[in-house]
Amino acid sequence: MLSNIRILLVATTHPGNIGATARAMKNMGLTDLGLVTPKIFPSDEADARAAGAEDILQNAQVFNSLDEALADRQQIIGASARLRAVTWPQLNPKQCAEKVIADSHLKTAILFGRERTGLSNEELERCHYLLHIPCNPAFSSLNVAAAVQVVAYELFQAALEKSSASPMPITDEEKANGEEMESFHEHLLETLFAIGFLHERKSSPMLIRRLRRIFNRSALEKTDIHILRGILATIQKKTSRHQTPINTP
C-alpha cells in the first residue's frame, strides 16, 4: 500500500537531512527515496544520521532533473510552507495521507524542497496538490526531515486504517504520469501561442500558471490526454492551412 509512494527531496544541501529522512521513512514503512540534484551524496554523514536505515540510502534513486524524477508519477504533491499567489488545491498532512492511501494504486511523488527556500513556484506548478504543515506562525520554518516525519506518520496511520477496512475495487483508468502531463502542457502552450490566445510580450505568467492549474486539478487519465492532444493537433493543422502565404519575388 505504501510502495507506490516516492519521497522526493529536491536540491538538498545538507547530507544529514537525507540520512534523517531515510530513518523517518523506514520508521513508517516507506522505502522509495528519490533525490534530485543533491549537493552531497553519498555521504558518511547521511549514513550516520540514517541510523539503521542505510538500505533506504543504498536504494535511493538520484535524478539529474525534476522532469526525470516525475516522469512516471501519476499524482504529485508538493510541500509548501507558504500560500501562493495562485490558489492551488491544498492539503494538510492528514488529508494528504488519506488521499494518497485512498489512491494507493497511483504512483505518487511527495516533494520536499531546499532547506532555506523550499520548492520554487515552477516546481510547485508541477503538483496536483500543495501540502501545508500547520506550525507556530512565529516560527513556521520546519526542518525538511522533520516535515517528512510528520507526513510519513500520517501515511502510516492512514495505511493501517485502510488495511483494516474492506478493500474497494479499483475501477479508475490509468492516470496520466508526469511526463505525459508536461508534454501536454507544452503542446497546449504551443497551440495557444499559434492561434494568438497567448502572446510572448503581453501574456501574464499568472495566466499560464492558472491554465496549468486547471488541468492539474482535473487528474487527467491517459485517455483524456490522447483526446486533448488530438484536439490541439487538429487546431494546429487548421491554423496552418489558413495562414497567409508569404509572397516571394
State the cell numbers at 107: 504512483
Helix (H, G, I), strand (E, B) or coil at 142: coil
Measure the CA–CA gap between 29 and 4, rounded to whole angstroms.
12
Residue with cell 516507506: 30
Per-residue pLDDT at 222: 87
Per-residue pLDDT at 199: 82
Measure the CA–CA gap between 22 and 230, rounded to whole angstroms.
43
Residue 248 has pLDDT above 50, yes or no: no
Domains and CATH numbers, the chain: 5-164 (3.40.1280.10), 178-241 (1.10.8.590)
Would you mind telling me the total number of residues written for the chain in this entry? 249
Per-residue pLDDT at 17: 97
State the cell numbers at 72: 512516471
Measure the CA–CA gap between 60 and 69, rounded to whole angstroms.
12
Per-residue pLDDT at 91: 95
Task: Fill in the DSSP letter of residue 109.
Answer: E
Per-residue pLDDT at 109: 98
Q: What's the average model confidence in pLDDT over 118-132?
A: 92
0.85 exceeded by pTM: no
- The answer to whether the CB of 63 falls within 8 A of the CB of 103 is no
Q: How confident is the model at residue 243 (pLDDT cuts 50, 70, 90)?
A: low
Longest dimension (CA), the chain: 78
pLDDT, the chain, mean: 88
Q: What's the average model confidence in pLDDT over 168-190?
A: 79
pLDDT digit string (tens) for 152-163? 999 999 999 988
pLDDT digit string (tens) for 22-76? 999 999 999 999 999 999 999 999 999 999 999 999 999 999 999 999 999 999 9
pLDDT digit string (tens) for 74-119? 999 999 876 555 577 899 999 999 999 999 999 999 999 999 899 9
Neighbours of 177 (CB within 10 A): 20
Measure the CA–CA gap between 196 and 219, rounded to whole angstroms.
27
Residue 223 has pLDDT above 60, yes or no: yes
pLDDT digit string (tens) for 182-222? 998 899 988 888 888 888 767 778 888 888 888 888 778 88
Q: How confident is the model at residue 137 (pLDDT cuts 50, 70, 90)?
A: confident
Neighbours of 168 (CB within 10 A): 8
Per-residue pLDDT at 92: 95
State the cell numbers at 201: 510580450
Per-residue pLDDT at 81: 76
